[in-house]
Amino acid sequence: MHIAISDDYQDAVRTLDCFSKLAGHRVTIFNDTVKDIDALANRFRDADALVLIRERTRISDALLEKLPRLKLICQTGKSTPHVDVAACTRRGVTVTAGRGSSRAPAELTWALVLAAMRRIPQEASRLRAGRWQTTLGTGLHGRTLGIWGYGNIGTLV
């Protein structure tokens, strides 16, 4: 089976424990995003299965028409607005969603909150330019982050 993995910007897929499950299959990993349908069709023309990283590549009926070998699309998140699921169903292409941990996005949320409140990107840039602490950050003590009701990730945050 030929499996194409799209949009692996960080070239991280091959370092994941689950990648070993693909042993014995031909796997092609693309580290960039292509939008042109003909270019996508050329990339995926021999693929029996596609693994989509998030919502970066749009799978339309026009693209599916050019991929007669394709039988499976696995999406790394639960959201599939970029995949024409009805066209996949008509063409016999199964669409599945993977699952992962909500911890990483929750942790990233806190990193971004802290970076914004403490102006870390600006201060890091100034430090590289030879300047030291030019602003005062805003403390988080006593503040509330209003994210209730936003699912698993929001609950962890």
Spatial CB neighbours of 143, under 8 Å, sequence gap ≥ 6: none
Residue owning tokens 């006593």: 142
Question: If you average pLDDT over residues 46-52, what whole number do you get?
Answer: 96
Q: In this model, does residue 71 exceed pLDDT 90?
A: yes
Backbone Cα Rg of the chain: 21
Q: Per-residue pLDDT tens for 91-106?
A: 999 999 877 778 888 8
pTM of the model: 0.73
The burial class, CB within 10 Å (0-12 / 13-18 / 19+), for 8 is: middle
pLDDT value at 27 more than 80: yes
**Secondary structure E strands in the chain:** 2-6, 26-29, 49-52, 72-75, 94-97
In degrees, rounded to 5, the angle at the alpha carbon of residue 101 between the alpha carbons of residues 18 and 116 is 125
Share of residues in the chain with pLDDT > 90 (%): 67
Give the separation between CA 56 and CA 39, rounded to whole angstroms.
Answer: 15
Locate 40 and state its tokens.
Answer: 């996508």
Q: Which residue shows structure tokens 């024409």?
A: 84
Give every CB contact of residue 68 below 8 A, 6+ residues apart in sequence. Answer: none
Contacts of 133 by beta carbon, 8 Å cutoff, 6+ apart: 123, 126
